[in-house]
Copies of this chain bind each other. A is one copy, B any other.
Amino acid sequence: MSLEYAILVSLQERAGSGYELARRFDKSIGYFWGASHQQIYRSLKRMVELGWVSCDEVAQEKRPDKKVYRVSDSGAAELARWLAEPAADPPAIRNELSVKIRGASYGDVGQVLAEVRRHRRRHAERLAVYQAIEQRDFPDPTGLTGQSLHQYLVLRGGIGYERSMVDWCDEVARALEADSPR
């Protein structure tokens, strides 16, 4: 159910349409909580019913009309309540690649190794994206406070995660190469 709260946070930062929210979930927020536009529209509908957000239809020139959502007082209260509540314990990580590595000897180890290398590239790409954002938006993080500090810290989490994945893929690739050489 965190999606609703992620949307509340995003709408508190700035009101917007479902489409705009979907864009944001492709970027900033989406780096640690992904959501497709279908999910977002469904959630917004529910949130209107719950009275957490209000919705204004806005006519635009040269563009389709859009519905701009903003957080209501009761939505803001609900967000504050949720923030004070303990978060669910981090769920077991589900890592498909780990399953393949663990089972590698029941198939073609070389193919699994190729997958490890491919994932290494993916993680390195994301790491580069996060680091570029860090350089651009937080060149000097020492003085950060409040919301920009919070944004920065979340970004740091993404960087740490991707870096650990890259390192792990490297370790795995090295070990598999050494074990089944050619």
Residues of chain A whose beta carbon lies under 8 Å from any beta carbon of chain B: 2, 5-6, 8-9, 12, 29-34, 76, 79-84, 86-108, 111-112, 115, 118-119, 122-123, 144-147, 149-151, 153-154, 156-158, 160-161, 163-165, 167-168, 171-172, 175-176, 179
- For A6, give the chain B residue with the smallest CB separation: B99
Inside 8 A of A164's CB, which chain B residues have their CB? Answer: 160-161, 163-164
Given A6-B102, A87-B115; 10 other pairs, CB 8 A cutoff? A80-B108, A83-B103, A83-B104, A83-B111, A84-B108, A86-B118, A87-B119, A101-B154, A144-B179, A156-B168
Inside 8 A of A179's CB, which chain B residues have their CB? Answer: 144-146, 149
Inside 8 A of A111's CB, which chain B residues have their CB? Answer: 83-84
Assess the B9–A95 pair: CB atoms within 8 A. Answer: no
A180 to chain B, nearest CB (A): 9
Assess the A34–B157 pair: CB atoms within 8 A. Answer: no
Assess the A87–B80 pair: CB atoms within 8 A. Answer: no
Top 9 nearest A-B pairs (CB, nearest first) are A34-B92, A83-B107, A9-B103, A164-B164, A32-B98, A80-B107, A84-B111, A160-B164, A32-B95
